[in-house]
Amino acid sequence: MVPQLKRAQACVFALLAAGWSSAAAENLPVTQAETLTGQRLEFPTALAGKPAVCVFGFSREAGDRTKVWMTRLSQDGVNSWSVANLEAAPALVRGMIRGSMRKGTPQPLLERSLIMTKDEKAWKRAVEAKHDHLPVVVLLDAAGRLLWTYEGLFGDEPYRELKARLEAATAK
């Protein structure tokens, strides 16, 4: 009886996960990612369950500029993730880039800093990235749907708008 119950629970969990993945897939690509602590996950599927803010960088310059966003978001206790897509970087230097990112990232943010090495074009299209040198801030709802995007440097006005939209998404 117990093995049947475990199988039933596994089936229910698989169906729920598949439903969330398909909801996210309607809106965003699903890509393998790795945190700066080495944990592998499927992004954005792994963020299921509550709204999340993701700050994308598609170049070194944009990546450096995500730090201001991430510092403020983490200070405010926001469920936030930085996402660096290294697909354009030669495979030989990706390890060095990861190492440099680990050294330059505060300890509490290491597990919230993601590296992807594929699907760059799909992600740029999905988050409406137009300028490689700027970070793209994205608000996802609890089901992984894109609610809001902002491409640009940190500023009080876009941050207030993000916080208001996040509050509305959390209230649902």
In the predicted model, what is the mean pLDDT of residues 73-81? 96
Q: What is the pLDDT of residues 104-116, one digit of tens each?
A: 999 999 999 999 9
Q: Between 43 and 10, where is the model more confident?
A: 43
Q: Using the predicted structure, report yes or no on whether residue 25 has a pLDDT greater than 90.
A: no
In the predicted model, what is the mean pLDDT of residues 142-168? 96
The most confident of the ranges 1-5, 45-49, 163-167 is 163-167
Read off the amino acid at residue 57: G
Q: What is the CATH number of the domain that holds 136?
A: 3.40.30.10
How many C-beta neighbours within 10 Å does residue 10 have? 10
pLDDT at 172 (0 to 100): 76
Q: Between 171 and 130, where is the model more confident?
A: 130
158 preceded by a cis bond (ω within 30 of 0): no
Helix, strand, coil proportions of the chain in percent (round to 5)?
A: 50, 20, 30
Contacts of 39 (CB under 8 A, 6+ apart): 111
Domain count, the chain: 1
Q: What is the pLDDT of residues 29-46, one digit of tens each?
A: 999 999 999 999 999 999
Q: Residue 115 is part of which domain span? A: 2-171
pTM, rounded to two decimals: 0.83
> Per-residue confidence at 26, pLDDT binned at 50, 70, 90?
low
Q: Using the predicted structure, report yes or no on whether residue 20 has a pLDDT greater than 90.
A: no
pLDDT at 16 (0 to 100): 39
pLDDT at 171 (0 to 100): 87
